[in-house]
Amino acid sequence: MPATPTPPPTTTPQTRIRPARVTMQDVARAAQVSQTTVSFVLNDRAQASIPQETRDRIWQAVTTLGYRPNAMARALRQGTSNLIGFVTDEIATTPFAGQIVRGAQDVAWQHRRILMMINTDHQSDLEQEALGALLQHQVDGIILAAMAHKAVTLPPLLEGFPVVLVNAYSEDDRVPAVVPDERRGGLEATAHLLARGHRHIGVVDNLDASMAATLRIDGHLQALTDAGITPDPTLIARVNGWQEAGFDGAMQLLRRPDRPTALFCLNDRGAMGAYEAARELGLHIPEDLSIIGFDNQEVIAAHLRPTLTTMQLPHHEMGRRGTLALLGTEPLPRGRTLLHCPLVERASVARPTAPRR
């Protein structure tokens, strides 16, 4: 009869003991100095006459012991936490507008600040909770950023607190706000088409009654007027939505007997739909039809064929300028500061090849 195999020895996993938190007193003991001396060195008290050899010994003890100061306690003592609150309604989940976050983050790191970001998903109750939590953490200031260029009402909780608005503004202009110059962008987009010889320009408005759409169309109409062209309201197709709306709006304009030679699409997703409409009608871009967009969503504009000429929304610059203003490095006046939306010229615009019918 075969022998019964001996079971493996029972082992008890070693209990992981969390090391006790290293205190400033531990650092003082290791460096053989007083706790007050350690505090002066760690807080860089320039007026304290402490020899360099003592300072080096303290920092060596800090490194060896792995000491980490209590950030909250230091914030209470010094009145600053080196934290910046960043509250947004949606942009943290939007790839192209995430450049606002990148711009803010770049400045924060350069100035040894930590960005604490909260995405509220348009929930006002969550925004209130988020702001309350940030204020409890002694943040040095708060950036309120919006996905869409719009007016916002400042929460009473922030009264008297350092605040900068990004891609948004308050109606009473109480605080600094950094927003894109949408009107100038619309003017320059149309001026670019006019400079290429287009005089019959359609507009695909798939942003409905948004602030961005209103200002971009205002700029478009101004460019036409400046060029001595009487604006034709029937050349503006308003269809609310994204790519599908761009397709439908472009179809409305391109099926006209006097179809436009160029389309100004109020965003790149609408321009994508306009490309599809042109293909369905057998039109070649830019030979038969020029198209210009707005936003410069790289994932769209640089990969359409032909690549899309468009206006760049200054997302990164908005985040950068807003954070610099909040830190006081480059202060901004109260109210709106307009940032230029530069033209990004690619391959979708050319001179019209035939006179308009």
pTM > 0.85: yes or no: no
The residues spanned by each domain of the chain are 24-70, 83-180+316-339, 182-313
What is the DSSP track for 289-302?
A: -EEEEEE--HHHHT
Give me the pLDDT at residue 228, please: 98
Which letter does DSSP use for residue 150 in this model?
E
Could you give the angle at the alpha carbon of 161 between the alpha carbons of 157 and 163, nearest 5°?
Answer: 100
CB 290 within 8 A of CB 350: yes
Q: Which CATH superfamily is domain 83-180+316-339 in?
A: Response regulator (3.40.50.2300)
Higher pLDDT, 138 or 78: 138
Q: Does the domain formed by 24-70 have CATH 3.30.160.60?
A: no
Helix (H) or strand (E) holding 334: none
Average pLDDT (7-22) is 49
Residue 204 has pLDDT above 70, yes or no: yes
Q: Name the β-bridge partners of 115.
A: 84
- For residue 11, name the pLDDT band (cuts at 50, 70, 90): very low
Higher pLDDT, 306 or 63: 306
Give me the pLDDT at residue 173, please: 92
Per the rule left: phi > 0, alpha: psi between -120 and 50, beta: everything else, 245 is alpha
Per CATH, 24-70 and 83-180+316-339 having the same topology is answered no
- For residue 18, name the pLDDT band (cuts at 50, 70, 90): very low
- For residue 69, name the pLDDT band (cuts at 50, 70, 90): low
pLDDT in tens, 132-141: 888 888 899 9
pLDDT in tens, 147-185: 889 999 998 889 889 999 999 999 999 999 999 999 999
pLDDT in tens, 262-316: 999 999 999 999 999 999 999 999 999 999 999 999 899 999 999 999 999 999 9
CB 139 within 8 A of CB 116: yes
Architecture of domain 182-313: 3-Layer(aba) Sandwich (3.40)
